């Protein structure tokens, strides 16, 4: 995928309607409004107060409190869903049945049967089904992907992500569904495959029983593992991904506005002789650090335009329904691992995220 993509010349903007005007909805409204590839036709929320609150962002969009009415609007070609996770699948299914293309906020849904049904509905209707794993449209992740694909990092050793802060507790999902969701999507994209097994740990410190501190380890095979620490109780905010490679390594600090990505020309040199008289010979290489300049693009804008382009061209989205379903399957396996005291849960049907 190239770093800049536009819809085909002269393609008419895609008529989009948004359902869900809470925390994230306004960001979608802003981008659907600003992009020339989309036209915001309608906005839907059962709470009229919320509709009023966002009206200024796009006064031309029609207001709906009834989702069914919205689906009847022939100008609505596509529906974007930014409601609580548990309602993603019902809204998406209804929209697909009504012949609309669908964009769903992450996670795609909260169970794999739901996800499988959505994929089937999209396939049946020949409709675009896409999930908003926004990070995959960020200049930083795009750059890291290039570095990996070019071979510059060498064989991959490990991924480690820390995504912690004193955070917005969610009511219907735990910290894995809320935060690790991003890391699963990012790393699966970077290595271009799905993991073969999952271990997870998590604890809850509230009445809800929902985990607020959790660790997830994914085995991607070939001696590559990825571990994610996600946490709603941390006094400090950290957003850091380390990609350890044999030749070079990358650190992505999403909170550093100046040098978000640093490439370290460092690594180990293992002697050819498996074992010398004095044991294993391991040497170190310390080299330059390089922080590539990244274009100032809003990931959400890139995502919105990719959605419009896929609808107009029939191209398969980078974050299609299947990649969203794979994330859901991993989160389900993580849940089982937590219940089984951290036991390894194989993912029996590895399906390529990019296939």
Among 172, 339, 351, 352, binds a copy of itself (CB under 8 A): 172
Q: Burial, 207: exposed, middle or buried (Cβ in 10 Å; 0-12, 13-18, 19+)? A: exposed
Does position 339 bind a copy of itself by CB under 8 A? no
With a CB cutoff of 8 Å and minimum separation 6, the contacts of 142 are: 1, 3, 136
Residue (26 or 115) nearer to a copy of itself, CB = 26
d(CA 204, CA 267): 38
Residue position matching structure tokens 């709470």:
47
Among 49, 74, 274, 314, binds a copy of itself (CB under 8 A): 274
CB of 238 to a copy of itself, least distance (A): 9
> Is 131 within 8 Å of 122 (Cβ atoms)?
no
Does position 284 bind a copy of itself by CB under 8 A? yes
Does position 158 bind a copy of itself by CB under 8 A? yes
d(CA 218, CA 67): 38
Segment 213-242, which members bind a copy of itself (CB under 8 A)?
213, 215, 217, 223, 225, 227, 229, 231-237, 242
Does position 199 bind a copy of itself by CB under 8 A? yes
CB of 34 to a copy of itself, least distance (A): 11
d(CA 269, CA 276): 14
Residue (120 or 280) nearer to a copy of itself, CB = 280
For residue 119, give both structure tokens: 């994929």
Stretch that binds a copy of itself, among 35-43, 102-110, 138-146, 257-265 (CB under 8 A): 257-265
Does position 275 bind a copy of itself by CB under 8 A? yes
Does position 177 bind a copy of itself by CB under 8 A? no
Of 243, 240, 253, the residue nearest 154 (C-alpha): 243
CB atoms inside a 10 Å sphere around CB 283: 9
CB of 319 to a copy of itself, least distance (A): 28
Among 73, 192, 265, 297, binds a copy of itself (CB under 8 A): 265
Stretch that binds a copy of itself, among 86-94, 120-128, 184-192, 335-343 (CB under 8 A): 335-343
Of 211, 254, 216, 207, the residue nearest 232 (C-alpha): 211
Segment 289-308, which members bind a copy of itself (CB under 8 A)?
289-293
With a CB cutoff of 8 Å and minimum separation 6, the contacts of 98 are: 71, 72
Does position 268 bind a copy of itself by CB under 8 A? yes
For residue 324, give both structure tokens: 């969203």
Segment 56-115, which members bind a copy of itself (CB under 8 A)?
56-57, 59
Q: Sheet containing 78-81: which strands, arranged edge to edge?
A: 62-64, 38-44, 14-19, 78-81, 101-105, 129-132
CB of 318 to a copy of itself, least distance (A): 26
d(CA 297, CA 63): 29
For residue 175, give both structure tokens: 């910290």
Residue position matching structure tokens 């994929």:
119
Does position 2 bind a copy of itself by CB under 8 A? no
**What 3-state DSSP class applies to 295?**
coil
Among 12, 120, 123, 166, binds a copy of itself (CB under 8 A): 166
Of 63, 81, 244, 235, the residue nearest 153 (C-alpha): 244
Does position 169 bind a copy of itself by CB under 8 A? yes
Residues that bind a copy of itself (CB under 8 A): 56-57, 59, 157-158, 160, 162, 164, 166, 169, 171-172, 197, 199, 201, 203-208, 210, 213, 215, 217, 223, 225, 227, 229, 231-237, 242, 244, 246, 248-251, 258-259, 264-268, 270, 274-275, 278-280, 282, 284, 286-293, 341-344
């Amino acid at each position: 995928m190239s770093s800049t993509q536009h819809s085909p010349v002269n393609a008419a903007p895609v008529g989009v309607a948004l359902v869900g005007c809470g925390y994230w909805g306004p960001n979608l409204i802003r981008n659907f409004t600003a992009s020339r590839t989309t036209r915001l036709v309608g906005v839907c929320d059962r709470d009229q107060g919320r509709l009023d609150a966002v009206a200024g962002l796009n006064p031309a969009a029609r207001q709906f409190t009834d989702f069914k009415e919205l689906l009847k609007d022939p100008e609505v070609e596509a529906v974007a869903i930014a409601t609580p996770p548990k309602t993603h699948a019902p809204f998406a299914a209804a929209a697909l049945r009504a012949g609309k293309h669908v964009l769903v906020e992450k996670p795609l849904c909260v169970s794999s049967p739901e996800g499988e049904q959505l994929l089937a509905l999209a396939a049946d209707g020949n409709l675009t089904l896409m999930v908003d794993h926004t990070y995959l449209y960020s200049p930083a992740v795009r750059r890291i992907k290039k570095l990996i694909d070019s071979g510059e990092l060498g064989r991959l050793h490990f991924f480690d992500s820390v995504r912690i802060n004193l955070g917005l507790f969610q009511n219907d999902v735990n910290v894995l569904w809320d935060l690790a969701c991003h890391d699963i999507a990012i790393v699966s994209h970077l290595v271009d495959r799905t993991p073969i097994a999952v271990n997870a740990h998590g604890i809850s410190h509230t009445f809800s029983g929902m985990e607020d501190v959790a660790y997830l380890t994914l085995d991607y095979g070939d001696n590559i593992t990825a571990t994610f620490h996600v946490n709603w109780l941390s006094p400090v905010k950290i957003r850091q991904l380390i990609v350890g490679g044999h030749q070079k390594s990358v650190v992505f600090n999403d909170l550093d506005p100046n040098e978000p990505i640093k490439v370290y020309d460092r690594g180990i040199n293992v002697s050819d002789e498996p074992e010398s008289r004095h044991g294993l010979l391991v040497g170190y290489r310390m080299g330059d650090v390089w922080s590539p300049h990244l274009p100032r693009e809003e990931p959400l804008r890139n995502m919105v335009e990719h959605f419009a382009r896929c609808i107009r061209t029939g191209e398969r989205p980078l974050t299609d329904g299947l990649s969203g379903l794979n994330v859901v399957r991993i989160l389900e396996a993580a849940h089982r691992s937590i219940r089984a005291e951290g036991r390894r849960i194989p993912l029996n049907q590895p399906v390529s995220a990019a296939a």
